[in-house]
Amino acid sequence: MSDPILSIRNLTVDLPKGGDRQYAVEQLSLEVAPREIVCIVGESGSGKSITSFATMGLLPKVLTPSTGEIRFGGQDLLALPASEHAKLRGSQMAMVFQEPMSALNPCYTVGTQIEEMFETHTELAKSERKARVMKLLEEVHLPDPARVYASYPHQLSGGQRQRIVIAMALALDPKLLIADEPTTALDLSTQAQILHLFKELREHHDAGIMFVTHDFDVVAEIADRVIVMQHGRIVEEGSAEEVLNRPKHPYTRLLIDAVPRRSRDARGAPAEDVLLSVNALNKIYHIPGNMFKQARDVHACKDINFSVRKGETLGIVGESGSGKSTLVKCLIRLEDPNSGEVLINGTDLASCSRKELHPYRKMIQIVFQDPYGSLNPRRTIGDQLIEGPVNFGADRAKSMERAKELMRIVRLDPDALNRYPNQFSGGQRQRICIARALMVEPKVLIADEAVSALDVSVQKEVLKLLNEIRDTLGLTVLFITHDLRVAAQVCDNLIVMQKGEIVERGNVEQVFGAPSSDYTKMLLDAQPGKDWDVPDISTLPPVAV
Amino acid sequence: MTDTSSTNIPISPRQAMIRRALRHKGLIFGTVVMAVVILIAIFAPLLTEYDPYKQNLLTRMKPPVLLGGDPDHWLGTDALGRDYWARLAYGARVSLTIGIVAAVISATIGCTLGILAGYFGGRVDAVVTFLINVRLAMPVVLVALAVVALLGGSLIVVISVLGLLLWDRFAVVLRSATMQVRSLEYIAAAEVLGASLPRILVKDILPNVMNHLIVIFTLEMAHAIILEAALSFLGLGVQPPTPSWGLMISEGKEMLLFESWLITIPGVALFFLVLAINMMGDGIRDVTAPEGRN
């Protein structure tokens, strides 16, 4: 291997006083060689982003590197004045962020923004600049580069915007490309394309790529070398093949063990009687026109039909815009469907008026995606848990008893009921949300991307908890997700949605083993790390720590 | 496998807020000045033996002690021989009453409109936005002058006019704050759990827009006090002989060149009260929403 482009030695970044630990990053050393993709993996708070920000010289002011050096192109970046460091950014090193919309300026066309890179750092003439931009747009496989050149960021899709950001990063052929969770905000199929693009870049450019991610599947897809971080320290480092298949450090093993398997947990068949059935459900959003735009209708759900038996877990899988969220909103009647039936035990919830609906509300409950937005920050946990029963006329004191009981079921301290949500971590909050939904003893529980925002190890625990609760309470669960692996692990049956329609249905083996629709095939194909068989950690030889 | 919390139990939002409050100098200054003015207003009869209405032409135009006046009247007397300290202390009652009551009326109107518009959106929002625009198109001082001129100036008229004119900012801010909160998932969760609409508005929306409400409240309170002073100065506010700071400035204006303290004293008092209220408002904003501070 040739000389490294970037080598970080003994880097320590201090956290401001009063944080939960003293250092954001402690004694960190790593190297990135040309034509190499180094993946830094870790859960939230592991210091992986701090490392990339330190290299780019973009650390927030409260964080100061105290010791160590970052050597890049023969000089120590930490000793460099800010103005010199700024000159390197863009020309020698470039960064791709997670959220492409906020990385682009909405006021300028993307063409202008990429050209600006050449304007600032080179002496090229205008026509040459434009030619270079067009070439870049072609290189990142954007369709119709001329149209994209003249488009504003909002006119492009998320994946296209991320390509633009990558094109900008590549504009001056940097030696180092840092990508901070570049595919996390993207759909599965888009993610596959962007990852493919990164692999191509490794071939065509000499750049070294530092790829920060939390997703082991992504690591399996693109990494040459893997660095696993925990609490600001590197706990394991090695080639991708080695770390993924024969992890040595207990923490790495824990993380890999938490990666959802593609196989389903074995469990008994659900009962035969149908609990929930949805017939010919339609939801059309009417978007009124104005002087410049014609009014149009968006058909978010088209003739949705499915039924769920008691005790069954049905997975609803789809990418963003597939209509799965609208379907959920219609089921819990946050939106009124235009037509169709939602039958629970023979009662049609879709045709009830708001008033008639009230007693049926408790039949069907939901756990939302965002653990931070789904609890009211100004009310205690206890107060929020008893909200449901109290609304249905239960006694406060009795409800409080039940709340304590449920806190035990979701493995939280019952005494925590008088605390506020800010005192809990994301995983704990999600368990509180599950407890809140269970307070009214629902028949159907909808988990709307309930584990998507959680770290893998936390995700595993919450999934386990959900499974347990389902089995002990005999719940019927609708599991909405974009993550095929999670779906495969917890669901009995699956439906796949695309553009408001169900394009595939069947049990997990059918859908994954012999998909009938092209869309499902494409989704399965787009999964990162599909060639990686997650190793069974329990079979690995024990390693002394 | 019970999840026990770590040893350093994080503090509740309220405790964190109190900690930030105790470190905020502006907030402390504002609160102390406000408290002093409120205490003066409440205990005015104990702080001076003089009647603010009692005229004594034999002791008129005495300068304050600092300018070599009579120690019996430490802030001097006005053109009718009334004790200036007594008038200032009793005047604080008028200023504070007007500020607080007008702000309460405005807050009630603006809050209701803003929260309803933000929560329901659509037609309700269109109507409220129209009302806000109508209100914004009216110049406050002119309308207040016109109404007071028509109905005659008195404390009640001034308070109601100001209360009915200063609700726009409440409505605008609470409308957008409510829109933000409304889209959060805990509102949806409450709906799914069968919470009634009033319950959602009171339990889930209001506490989460409260910080905006308090800040606007202080701003509008200061605004009302200044407007009252302006109206009184123009002779259309509180009518003499009621002691009011604006009226005191107005009555002192003829002596501006010769006995400037007649204007300076109520002017300084007004300045500090309004400054204190504004600093308190800013402080509350910083303390309740630390993420909004630059």
Residue B1 inside a domain? The answer is no
* Spatial separation of the C-alpha atoms in residues A400 and A415, rounded to whole Å: 11
Cross-chain Cβ contact B188/A334 below 8 Å: yes
Query: How confident is the model over B126-152, as a mean pLDDT?
Result: 89
Please report whether residue B55 resides in a domain. no
Rounded distance between C-alpha atoms, residue B48 and residue A5, angstroms:
81
> For residue B130, what pLDDT band results from cuts at 50, 70 and 90?
very high
B166 in a domain, yes or no?
Answer: yes
| Residues near B103 by beta carbon (within 8 Å), at least 6 away in sequence | B163, B166, B217, B220, B221, B224
Predicted ipTM of the assembly: 0.74
pLDDT at B11: 62
B7-16 burial code (b ≥16 CB/10 A, e <16) = eeeeeeeeee
Residue A130 lies in a domain: no
pLDDT at B6: 40
Residue B112 CB burial class (10 angstroms; 0-12, 13-18, ≥19): middle
Q: Does a structural domain hold residue A105?
A: no
Q: Searching chain B, which residue's CA lies closest to the CA of residue A386?
A: B193
Q: Does any domain span residue A204?
A: no
Burial of B164 per CB tally in 10 Å (0-12, 13-18, 19+): middle
Nearest chain A residue to B188 by CA distance is: A334
Ranges of chain A whose pLDDT falls below 70: 1-2, 18-20, 262-271, 543-545
Shortest Cα distance, chain A CAs vs residue B198, angstroms: 12
Length of chain B: 294
**Nearest Cα residue to A445 out of A303, A266, A311, A296:** A311
pLDDT band per the 50, 70, 90 thresholds, residue B12: low
Could you report the per-residue pLDDT of B166-219, keeping only the tens digit for each?
999 999 999 999 998 888 888 888 888 888 888 899 888 888 888 888 889 988
> Of B13, B184, B195, which is closest to A391 when you measure between CB atoms?
B195
Residue B3 pLDDT > 70, yes or no? no
Give the whole-angstrom CA distance, residue A385 versus residue A432: 8
Q: Summarize pLDDT for A361-406 with one digit per residue, the tens.
A: 888 888 888 888 888 888 888 888 888 888 888 888 888 988 888 8
> Rounded to whole angstroms, how far apart are CA atoms A79 and B180?
44
The pLDDT score that the predictor gives to residue A270 is: 61
From the list A8, A41, A10, A12, the residue with the least C-alpha distance to A25 is A12
Kindly state whether residue A471 falls inside one of the protein's structural domains. Answer: yes
Contact A114, A148 (CB under 8 A): no
Query: Where are any strands of DSSP class E within A233-392?
Result: 233-239, 274-287, 296-309, 313-317, 339-344, 347-348, 364-367
CB nearest B13 (choices: A392, A408, A422): A422
What is the tally of structural domains in chain B? 1
Which of the four pLDDT bands, split at 50, 70 and 90, describes residue B116?
very high
Q: What is the CATH number of the domain that holds B128?
A: 1.10.3720.10
CA neighbours closer than 13 Å in the CB half-sphere of residue B139: 4
Domain interval for residue A351 = 274-514
Contacts of B208 in chain A (CB under 8 A): 376-378
Residue A147's pLDDT is 87
Q: Encoding tokens for residue A399?
A: 């409800």
Per the structure, the count of domains in chain A is 1
- Give yes or no for a contact between A136 and A170, defined as CB atoms under 8 angstroms apart: yes
With respect to residue B58, please indicate whether it lies within any of the assigned structural domains.
no
**Would you say how long chain A is, in residues?**
545
Residue at B12 is within a domain? no
Cα gap A306→B75, rounded to integer Å = 84
Identify the pLDDT of residue A11. 87
Q: From the candidates A326, A365, A386, A387, which should be mutated to test the interface with B, based on the most B CB atoms within 10 A? A: A387
pLDDT at B250 over 50: yes
Q: Which residue has the tokens 């390693």?
A: A543
> What's the CATH number where A350 sits?
3.40.50.300
Residue B285 is part of which domain span? 17-50+66-292
> What one-character-per-residue DSSP string does A400-453 give?
HHHHHHHHHHTTB-GGGGGS-GGGS-HHHHHHHHHHHHHTT--SEEEEESTTTT
Residue A6 lies in a domain: no
Distance of CA A107 to the CA centre of its chain: 28
Distant-in-sequence, close-in-space partners of A188: CB < 8 Å, separation ≥ 6:
A319, A482, A484, A523, A526, A527
Residue A302 domain-assigned (yes or no)? yes
User: Chain A residues with CB inside 8 Å of B9's CB?
Assistant: 423
In a domain, B56, yes or no: no
Instruction: Report the half-sphere exposure of A19 (CA within 13 A, side-chain side).
Output: 14
Residue of A344, A376, A390 to mutate, interface with B, max B Cβ within 10 Å: A376
Q: From edge to edge, which strands make up the β-sheet containing A233-239?
A: A93-96, A176-180, A208-213, A37-41, A225-230, A233-239
Q: Is residue B38 part of a domain?
A: yes
What are the structure tokens assigned to A268, written together? 């008994």
Query: Smallest CA–CA separation between B196 and chain A, in Å?
Result: 8
For residue A109, give both structure tokens: 């066309």
Report if residue B189 sits inside a domain. yes
Is there a domain that residue A74 lies in? no
pLDDT at B113 over 90: yes
Q: Which of B23-37, B53-67, B179-193 has the lowest mean pLDDT?
A: B53-67
Nearest CB to B193: which of A369, A388, A413? A388
CA distance A166 to A201: 10
Q: Given A392, A420, A436, which is nearest B189 (Cβ)? A: A436
Rounded mean pLDDT of B224-231?
Answer: 86
A8: in domain: no
